[in-house]
Structure 1
Amino acid sequence: MNKNRQGAPRRGPKRRRNKSNKRRVNMPPKKESTQALKQEIAKTIKRANEWREQTEKQIRLAGELQRKNDQLIAENMRIEGLLAECREELRRRQGKIEGLESAIRLMGSGG
């Protein structure tokens, strides 16, 4: 009887060492030239500065829009107040007109 086959069967496939694969895995990464790295850093800094400028511009615009919005809200409230006063005055005058009309009717029927 073969001694290697005794007992529980082995689980999974046998693992083989692949020396050529090992060499490929352990190869150091290709180094980029310092000039290319400097150019990449310069581009990144330029993009970051543009982004910062855009952000600051948007913040300024947002502040201006907020101020204009506050002004418009105040103006709207003022107009709503005037409109309420006008409605009240209209109701008062309408009451006067109705009173005069009823007085005229009474005078017309009594005469």
Structure 2
Amino acid sequence: MYRVAIEFLALAADVSTAVPRGYASLADQLRRAATSSPLNIAEAAGRASYRDAARHFTIARGSAMECAAVLDALKVLGAIDDGDYERGLDLLTRQVAMLTKLCR
């Protein structure tokens, strides 16, 4: 799960640098949310109690969902390559599925 989050972070970094100037706020939001997810996964791994870990997994899941929304917005605005969009959604779908199981 952490590796998938890091893989998405690398993709998000590439996508955010390729986004046209008029969409800088979306690029920035994508970078921040993509960074938040693996950081919260790592934070969860270091927690002693399940409750604390689950809270960080939930935050990581929310950040991944936020990334998906940003990708959707970039797609609608024509500001992202189709291949990057599909690859990003695939990684996020995998990440969210794993995190959902850990948030229960």
Instruction: Compute the TM-score of the two structures, normalised by the length of structure 1.
Output: 0.28
Which structure is larger by alpha-carbon Rg, 1 or 2? 1
Higher relative contact order (CA 8 A, sep 6+): 2
Q: Which has the higher helix share?
A: 2
